[in-house]
């Protein structure tokens, strides 16, 4: 029985994973297409191949993060992205077989045909060849010799592991900074996966001039925090049906959970998040550009809001 093989480029895979990471929840292909400026078919191809690479998981038409390595694709540093892809390719059977046959035959077309037959892949051999060459050259696992010829790179993984070590160091530094901004009490209360990691990703994106991505990542963290805060109040405040930051804040305001000034700080975060996420604004007839400074400020204001609002629910003096 033929085995499915999903043709895509390495760039489409990376873009798809980045979109899912930034969205912070199970993601449909339509979001990925709009976020990454891809066609729907391109986004679906990238998503399906990312699942085969065990970077993403698929369930009921939506995609979610499967591997911790996905986080290290959220960077403009091409060497870090290449290193992530290089690592996952070492466990991707079609690529492993293709590389072995390329070494043996010296022909990418022949290697693709032999890989197709050996693994019973249902795609055309040219689609298999183009996909595996894209993954291989992007990750520097394959080198171009010119004239349509390719060769396997040196087997040493030293550079790949060094690059991954640097990426881990950057991520750890960002998380440390976020925890410092939140303070010990708030940092201990919030979920690391749902709040601290998205805020850290937002800080990294802001530092790399991806202001829109920074706002989306930190905005997801705020929404997750509000859900958790409401559920831990006594009595709990149900936020069922409240979609988005501002709608959740309205529910909290109705019960006088937070002072009006803190509610307004939260609504600032909600409005900026909406500007970054909602495309064309009916009032302006255009989409909003998120300034670089806004992206960085947003992450820090988000941390201050979480710290101040959590502190207030514990009966501590108001701060902002």
Claim to verify: residue 108 and residue 172 sit in the same structural domain: no
Domain boundary among 101, 130, 155: 155
String of DSSP letters for the chain: -PBP-----HHHHHHHHHHHHHHTS-B-HHHHHHHHT--HHHHHHHHHHHHHTTSEEEETTEEEE--GGGGGGSSS-HHHHHHHHHHHHTT-HHHHHHHHHHHHHS-HHHHHHHHHHHHTB-S-HHHHHHHHHHHHHHTTSEEEEETTEEEEPPS--HHHHHHHHHHHHHHHHHHHHHHHHH-HHHHHHS-IIIIIHHHHHHHHHHHTT-HHHHHHHHHHHHHHHHHHHHHHSSS----TT--SHHHHHHHHHHTT-S-HHHHHHHHHHHHHHHHHHS-EETTTTEEPP--HHHHHHHHHHHHHHHHHHHHHHTTPPP--
Is the domain of 118 the same as that of 187? no
130 and 172 share one domain: no
Total domains present in the chain: 2
pLDDT surpassing 90 at residue 238 = no
Residue range 197-235, pLDDT digits in tens: 899 988 888 888 889 999 999 999 999 999 999 999 888
In a domain, 320, yes or no: no
Q: Are residues 52 and 191 both part of a single domain?
A: no
Task: Tell whether 115 and 179 lie within a shared domain.
Answer: no
Co-location of 146 and 192 in the same domain? no
Q: What is the pLDDT of residue 166?
A: 59
Most confident of the ranges 125-134, 185-194, 287-296: 125-134
Summarize pLDDT for 259-269 with one digit per residue, the tens.
Answer: 999 999 999 99
> pLDDT value at position 70?
87
Q: For residue 73, what pLDDT is reported?
A: 86
Out of 112, 135, 155, a domain closes at 155
Q: What is the extent of the structural domain holding 51?
A: 1-155
Supply the CATH number for residue 85's domain. 1.10.10
| 173 and 305 assigned to the same domain | yes
pLDDT one-digit tens code per residue, 272-313: 999 998 878 888 888 889 998 899 899 999 999 999 999 999
Domain boundary among 155, 187, 211: 155
Shared domain for 141 and 193, answered yes or no, is no
CATH number of the domain residue 305 falls in: 1.20.120.330
């Amino acid at each position: 029985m033929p085995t499915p093989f999903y043709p895509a480029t390495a760039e489409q895979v990376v873009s798809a994973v980045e979109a899912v990471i930034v969205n912070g929840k199970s993601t449909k292909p339509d979001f990925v297409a709009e976020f990454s400026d891809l066609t729907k078919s391109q986004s679906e191809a990238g998503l399906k191949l990312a699942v085969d690479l065990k970077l993403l998981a698929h369930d009921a038409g939506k995609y979610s993060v499967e591997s911790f390595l996905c986080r290290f694709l959220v960077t403009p540093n091409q060497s870090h992205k290449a290193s992530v892809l290089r690592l996952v390719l070492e466990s991707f059977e079609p690529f492993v077989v293709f590389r072995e046959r390329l070494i043996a035959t010296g022909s990418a077309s022949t290697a693709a045909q032999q890989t197709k037959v050996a693994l019973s892949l249902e795609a055309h051999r040219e689609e298999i060849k183009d996909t595996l060459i894209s993954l291989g050259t992007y990750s520097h696992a394959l080198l171009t010799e010119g004239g349509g010829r390719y060769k396997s790179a040196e087997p040493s993984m030293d550079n790949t592991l060094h690059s991954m070590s640097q990426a881990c160091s950057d991520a750890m530094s960002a998380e440390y900074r976020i925890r410092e901004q939140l303070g010990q009490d708030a940092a201990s209360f919030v979920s690391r996966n749902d709040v601290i990691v998205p805020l850290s990703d937002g800080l990294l994106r802001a530092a790399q001039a991806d202001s829109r991505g920074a706002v989306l990542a930190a905005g997801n963290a705020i929404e997750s925090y509000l859900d958790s805060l409401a559920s831990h109040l006594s009595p709990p405040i149900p936020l069922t049906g409240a979609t988005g930051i501002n709608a959740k804040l309205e529910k909290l305001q109705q019960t006088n959970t937070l002072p009006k000034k803190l509610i307004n700080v939260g609504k600032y975060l909600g409005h900026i998040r909406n500007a970054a996420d909602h495309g064309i604004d009916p009032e302006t007839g255009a989409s909003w550009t998120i300034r670089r400074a806004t992206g960085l400020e947003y992450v820090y204001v988000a941390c201050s809001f979480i710290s101040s609002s959590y502190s207030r629910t514990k009966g501590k003096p108001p701060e902002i």
